[in-house]
A = this chain, B = another copy of it.
């Protein structure tokens, strides 16, 4: 390290050929439906410039989202920052740094977003919904295509490596499905040329891609990052409650968790876990519209946040 400050001065022009964008993965789960806020007919995530008036990145995003959706954003978390070249053709000389955030909110009829803005996120990742067992698309389309991709490799160890990675990601050959590996799965499909974004990047014309709506830029990758992060997070932080109404039944809570995690959970064990962790307390009221035996209504015990380092909903 010659210059221990690590700083080398450039011309102001060069240093300033940079602009910053904020990108939001805004999630809600009305009636156990996992949805994400999109723009342009579901082909992009909402994004906007980071402006000088914003106090900080997070507060900029928060204001901006609350202004546009009319809903308070409960939980907000930074996802990832990237600055690859060739992003945006209207900035030939400069460079855009994109800072993405994950936010949770309650989507209600009173919201101010145009219809169609909220999309079920499994439109973009049909292979991620295992609530009713592994989707057929995996066995019928994805696995065969990935095997083929592995076979195409010249070297034997590349073949083996591809196959191992594919099996680990998609849970075949005796592997278990790990719902958190959302990003790894998307990136594997991208690498194998099986998503439209990869075809687009390669400039190819013929595309035998896997089902699942594409997005512009790398927005689908960002969404995958957000879903993966959320699936990890709900296990050790009580963030699901940001998606719930003030009072809810345990089944509604379970449905929300299942919507995010994309897997079904054991009902009795779920209740045991939630109750023994003191995450909720009874409101004293009952819900009549369950279809069966009426359920107790619960509310989130906000006090736990101050208490011990509270766990989530494993």
Chain A residues within CB distance 8 Å of chain B: 1-2, 4-8, 10, 14-20, 39-40, 44, 46-52, 55-57, 68-69, 78, 80-85, 94-95, 97, 99, 112-114, 117, 161, 164-165, 168, 175-176, 178, 180-181, 306-309
Contacts and interface: CB of A to CB of B under 8 A. Distances in A.
A51 to B, nearest CB: 7
Nearest to A100: B81
Given A47-B6, A97-B97, A308-B168, A14 B52 contact: yes
A164 B306 CA distance: 7
A20 B168 CA distance: 37
A19 B18 contact: yes
Q: Is the interface of A mostly helix, strand, loop or mixed?
A: loop
B84 A56 contact: yes
B94 A16 contact: yes
Nearest to A69: B1
> Most chain-B Cβ atoms within 10 A of its Cβ — which of A4, A17, A55?
A4
Given A14-B52, A48-B8, A113-B1, A308 B175 contact: yes
Given A1-B113, A164-B307, A308-B168, A15 B57 contact: no
B51 A1 contact: no
> Most chain-B Cβ atoms within 10 A of its Cβ — which of A2, A16, A69?
A16
B19 A52 contact: no
Contacts of A51: 10, 14
